[in-house]
Structure 1
Amino acid sequence: MMVTDVEQSLLRRETLNTYLNAFRSAWWVVALGAAVCSVAALGFSLLQTPQYKASATLYVTASQGNNTAAAYQGSLASQERVASYVKLAVTESVLADGVQRAGLNISADDAEHSVAASAASDTSILSISATRGSAWEATRLANGTAEALAEYVRTLETPAGGGSPLAKLTVVAPASEPSSPISPRTGRNVVLGAVVGLLIGAGWVVVRTKYNTRIHTESDLVAALGVPVLAGIPHDGRFDTHAIAEFSSGGSVAGEAFRKLRTALSFVSIDNPPSVLVVTSAVAAEGKTTVSINLAAALADTGRSVCLVDADLRRPQVAGRLGLNENVGLTDWLSATSVELVDLVQSTATDGLTVLASGSIPPNPAELLQAQRVGEGLRVLAAKFDYVVVDSAPVLPVADTVSLCQWGDGVVLVARSDASRTNEVRDAVAHLAVTETPVLGGVLTDLARDALPYGYGYGYGYALLHSNSDLGESTDVATKIRS
């Protein structure tokens, strides 16, 4: 199957729209993730004991001669000693003396976990810091340790024979009491929590969208069907109270979508267009009856004569929705040889549209629809009307539609956006394959308005994905009703 660059670009655009729509509908998940993680970070921060850090700075000097060379050597000696003094600062003897000088009631081991020493590279500057749960304790411990280290170095560097120390430490910047803790950093933690929550929520939306088996867009339905999508039908509240969309000039978006479906079907086979169309779905509640009624009305809107047959003999709805007699129809003709089929057809308020209701519900619908007499009846209707649209039962729950499809020219498979599942649609296509009646294409119902390509119902479903030359999807439509 070859796909042009334009088609690939449009498919990528629809994939992007799928994710954008997913984020639009699940924005609250992302927001909730950010809120939960922010609150968790705030709670974690509030449960932590504040930690204060105070630092004292010392300067190392070594004995120097009176000339420049000696001064340089003394400077090098100071830098070399700094690394040793960093290690001395955290020895037990220095820390014990530091704790005593600070006047704190803590052990040397406790002080070891609180005190840290560091030195700036290639300098004679040494820093001693102390971190405690109290700003006062941190300050006292840092200064006490600095004084203890200076005294320890003075003793260590004094020659055994007496005299001046070879090096000394001088506290040049005593530790001052910090005004705010170094941890927890509540503001930063809350922001990081929000970011993590956003990422978790966004990741959930992406993964759910990618691996969700529900059909959302026309491209999803194309992938499941393996044949073109003829039209996408938007959600329309009018269908709650009216069976037929508004087809008048400047009518509804749904009306335009059904016109597109009508046009798409006329191009399925230009030389031999199908006249007996079976409309079905994989499972119930996917909009097949709505599609059947409005496809028939759209065909009648062109001035053609159309007969809509309710062949869903288990849950018939056509007559009820159109306000017609539900008790007389197809099953009555199948069981009574003396009745003429055309005498059971009822007129509707729509010019050119007539209806053959289901009639009484039989105990054996599948066997009834498989009978040769059904094919004969559809031939009679096809001879009298330009089009025959057959509303059938769902494919997967019962065998009725598989029995019925053998008498049609082609099948239109209906799926519902955000409800139908890919595996169900594929199973339905596999069931229909045994009848050798081609699936002409799919119809995706209940689309959100913002999910409609190009904003006014003119999706690229048929024009893009039904190109015979590029995609090799041409289908030979049976033009004779099988007997």
Structure 2
Amino acid sequence: MKAHLAFRDVPDHLHDDGSAHRDGETFGPATSGLTRDLLDFEAMRLAFLINRKMILGIMAGGLLVGVASAVFMPRIFTARASIQIDQQARKVLGTEDSEPLANGSEADRMLQTQVDILNSRAMARRVSDALGLAASDTFLEQSTGRAPSGLTPGERVDRVIDTLQRNLDVDLPHNSRVVGVMYKSRDAALSAKVANTFVAEFIKGNIQRKFSASSYSLEFLGNQLSVAKRRLEESERTLITYSRTASLIDTSAGMAGKTGIAQGPQSLVTANLVELNDRSAEAKANRLQAEERWHQASGTPLMQLPEVLSNNAVQQLLQQRAEQAAKLQELRAHLKADHPSVVQATTQLNELDNEARTIAESIRGSIKNQYMVAARQDGAMQSAVNGLKSATLSEQDRGVRYNILKREVDTNRQLYDSLLQRYKEVSAAAGVTVNNISQIDVAEAPRKPTSPRVLINIGLSIILAAGAAVLAVILRSRLFDTINDPRDVERRLALPLLGVVPMDLGGSPLTTLLSPKSDIAEAYHAIRTSIELSSSVGLPKSLLLTSSSPSEGKSTSSYALARDFALQGKRVLLVDADLRRPTLHRIVDVDPGVNGFSSVLARKVGFQDAVVPTLIENLSFLASGPVPPDPANLFSGTSLREFLAEVGGSFDLLVLDAPPVLSIADAMELTAEASATVFVLQTGGVRVKAAQQSVMRLRRAGGNIIGAIVSKYDTKMAGYDYAYSYRYGY
């Protein structure tokens, strides 16, 4: 049977840490097998199979913990109430104070502030006092399942408050003003009772804070109002006292009532001066008007004055004169001038002219008299105003102080009026208990417990157990970093895999080897084929088998390969090169004390005298011989090289069973002279670091390592993977 893996050339160099590189490619610890195996499902399957007992134990323990938690954990009941928190309360009177509406982060901060108040220790103390929870140990017993002992009253209060805070859960959902208030307890009725009490005390506390603020404002305004009233009274008394002392009479109210316009503060003298001044201005205007009319009348012909022309009597006389003048004109046309009728008409016409002129003169005289009266009145008024001016100027000096006192009175009155108005508003709003927090849902005693959740607890236990199992596998792989997967030989040791020898469940691999169809026999057939194909020059003359430590299967592999090559017709010499702890003599059934390999190297006998035939055709055996005092000296000379050269002419293949690499230095001497070296590893029996150090030491000694054999591999554990299964089922 041909090997299932093609062999690559041996890496050019092996580093001190066990990593190897070839043509720019790095192998070994530089690329951790565990890291690469994270996505290697085959490696994960193998890791599970290797650690299946531990994993199943951890998973079973996790399942038991989950079931135990569901069975033995106390039943917890959660009651839920809900409240709505608005930024502003509805106004009743319309005069209540209100803060501006907040937006964005300010609104969220306001809601979070209310949640913090609910979670505060002061709120828990209010609930404790309202329900009387700290009066006895009943509440603590209901909450914890056992009654505390030896608690002082102060300690009991602290314990109750801590329990309330610990079991309270306030839920503030996103984009909502409805806040959930939940309380957990072992008693369903107690949970609902405490949750509702938290809501009630929270609303009551909010109202009390607002009422306290209103009471403080009312008290503050009352004090300020008393101070303002006292200041107003004092300023009014001071103003009245000064006005009496200075003989100042304020007539501003009377003037305002007359004119309808608010006047400044005026005394009696000032009021008279103002009134006389107004009359003087009126008299002066009348004089100027009368004077203008007189000047016009005196410069205008008498009968052309407007007042004369507009007089009714004058108009009648002028009409009569016109009629008489027409009549006279008619008489003169027929009669002579001295005719009595003409003379009479002329006399009547002259009389009409005289009457009209008389009336016109009286009208002009009336205009002159009006002018004279207006001039006298103007003079009298101006004289009276001039007399009051000096008295007014003297009074103004005293009015400066009066005005200062008057302004102080007005300021104090305005302050008093505004405080009085605000006091009335606050007094009216103080009794209004509209709140911005309202209860939406009332907590009811829950019918089902919220904890423990059986399925969730079991699921979480299984998940945690699975995580612990994975962690345990990783830690175990780190602490016990052994070769468990045959593929690790190439990935971590940078060695070609010659083959895998399955574990013999019967306990006697040599007996199983006699069956040609057994897994072990098939495995060594494949390894023998791999060795033949390992080099283009064919089968090596000498083949050395070694391992990191004892009991890894190198002696069994040496015998099995020598036997297999012999059965193929090759002349094979099997040499027990372990001069310290030989084991092949038991397999071949030869006395170890006879002349053997040590005797040949010591040149006591020739190898022909020491070699003994075996029951297998073409297979000869050279025992280790007597144990020398210093085996290393036998390998360090030229006797080993001479022995190999001499034996090479008599046998087709020399198989050397060498001692372990890490125990002594004999293996390095042997690998330097052997044509090829095979490294044997026991599955799970050698750490990767030790194997890497062994390979490194063999390479430094000049050994030609053609590959590695993985022994004692549990094929059942691996699931009979096609790459490593040697059972063909013929």
Please indicate, yes or no, whether the TM-score normalized by the shorter chain is above 0.5: yes
Deviations 1:279-310 (A, max 9, x none): 11222111110110001011112122211111
CA separation in 2, counterparts of 1:397 and 1:91? Answer: 71
Aligned 8 A contact 2:512 2:520 in 1: no
Asked whether 1:393 is paired with 2:642, we answer no
Aligned 8 A contact 2:611 2:622 in 1: yes
- Partner of residue 140 from structure 1, selected from 182, 189, 193: 193
Deviations 1:426-472 (A, max 9, x none): 3323333354341222211111214465255469xxxxxxxxxxxxx
Deviations 1:54-109 (A, max 9, x none): 344678999899xxxxxxxxxx9xxx9x9799899889999888778867666798
Aligned 8 A contact 1:410 1:439 in 2: yes
The residue correspondences of 1:83-232 to structure 2 (distance < 5 A) are 110=161, 113=165, 129-143=182-196, 161=428, 174-185=442-453, 187-209=455-477, 212-223=480-491, 225-232=493-500
Aligned 8 A contact 2:62 2:465 in 1: yes
Q: Specify the SS of the correspondent of 1:30.
A: helix
Q: Specify the SS of the correspondent of 1:375.
A: helix
Q: TM-score, normalised to structure 2's length?
A: 0.50
Match of 2:550 in 1: 284
| Higher mean C-alpha deviation, range 449-458 or range 143-152 | 143-152
% identical aligned pairs: 23
Name structure 1 gaps, 5 residues minimum.
Answer: 5-10, 66-75, 460-483
Letter of the 1:325 counterpart: D
Q: State the 1:418 CA deviation.
A: 0.7
Q: State the 1:270 CA deviation.
A: 2.5
CA separation in 1, counterparts of 2:692 and 2:123? Answer: 79
| Higher mean C-alpha deviation, range 104-113 or range 437-446 | 104-113
Match of 1:402 in 2: 668
Asked whether 1:368 is paired with 2:634, we answer yes
Aligned residues: 438
CA separation in 2, counterparts of 1:419 and 1:353? Answer: 30
Q: Specify the SS of the correspondent of 2:79.
A: strand
Aligned 8 A contact 1:411 1:438 in 2: yes
- Go from structure 1 to structure 2 and tell me whether the alpha carbon gap of 1:351 and 1:12 turns closer, same or farther (over 3 Å shift): farther
Aligned 8 A contact 2:512 2:518 in 1: no
| Higher mean C-alpha deviation, range 138-147 or range 155-164 | 155-164
Letter of the 1:202 counterpart: V
Letter of the 2:189 counterpart: W
CA separation in 1, counterparts of 2:609 and 2:121? Answer: 111
Q: State the 1:387 CA deviation.
A: 1.1
- Go from structure 1 to structure 2 and tell me whether the alpha carbon gap of 1:299 and 1:185 turns closer, same or farther (over 3 Å shift): same
- Go from structure 1 to structure 2 and tell me whether the alpha carbon gap of 1:182 and 1:245 turns closer, same or farther (over 3 Å shift): same
Letter of the 1:305 counterpart: R
Q: Specify the SS of the correspondent of 1:53.
A: strand
The residue correspondences of 1:40-59 to structure 2 (distance < 5 A) are 50-56=75-81
Q: Specify the SS of the correspondent of 1:18.
A: helix
Match of 1:382 in 2: 648
CA separation in 2, counterparts of 1:391 and 1:185? Answer: 64
Q: State the 1:350 CA deviation.
A: 1.9
Letter of the 2:514 counterpart: E
- Go from structure 1 to structure 2 and tell me whether the alpha carbon gap of 1:280 and 1:139 turns closer, same or farther (over 3 Å shift): closer
Aligned 8 A contact 1:243 1:322 in 2: no
| Higher mean C-alpha deviation, range 277-286 or range 263-272 | 263-272
Q: Specify the SS of the correspondent of 2:487.
A: helix
- Go from structure 1 to structure 2 and tell me whether the alpha carbon gap of 1:178 and 1:262 turns closer, same or farther (over 3 Å shift): same
Aligned 8 A contact 2:37 2:43 in 1: no
Q: State the 1:263 CA deviation.
A: 1.2
Asked whether 1:420 is paired with 2:686, we answer yes
Q: State the 1:154 CA deviation.
A: 9.3
- Go from structure 1 to structure 2 and tell me whether the alpha carbon gap of 1:178 and 1:255 turns closer, same or farther (over 3 Å shift): same
Q: State the 1:253 CA deviation.
A: 1.6
- Go from structure 1 to structure 2 and tell me whether the alpha carbon gap of 1:140 and 1:2 turns closer, same or farther (over 3 Å shift): same
- Go from structure 1 to structure 2 and tell me whether the alpha carbon gap of 1:457 and 1:347 turns closer, same or farther (over 3 Å shift): farther
Aligned 8 A contact 1:299 1:306 in 2: yes
Letter of the 1:136 counterpart: A
CA separation in 1, counterparts of 2:607 and 2:125? Answer: 110
Match of 1:331 in 2: 598
Aligned 8 A contact 2:501 2:523 in 1: yes
Q: Specify the SS of the correspondent of 1:384.
A: coil
- Go from structure 1 to structure 2 and tell me whether the alpha carbon gap of 1:275 and 1:206 turns closer, same or farther (over 3 Å shift): same
CA separation in 1, counterparts of 2:126 and 2:602? Answer: 111
CA separation in 2, counterparts of 1:430 and 1:215? Answer: 17
Q: State the 1:187 CA deviation.
A: 4.9
Deviations 1:221-259 (A, max 9, x none): 2345433222221112456263671363xx112112211
- Go from structure 1 to structure 2 and tell me whether the alpha carbon gap of 1:14 and 1:263 turns closer, same or farther (over 3 Å shift): farther
Name structure 2 gaps, 5 residues minimum.
Answer: 1-21, 26-35, 93-100, 102-106, 136-156, 215-425
CA separation in 1, counterparts of 2:707 and 2:510? Answer: 26
Aligned 8 A contact 2:509 2:520 in 1: no
Task: Choose between structure 1 and 2: higher strand proportion.
Answer: 1
Letter of the 2:494 counterpart: G
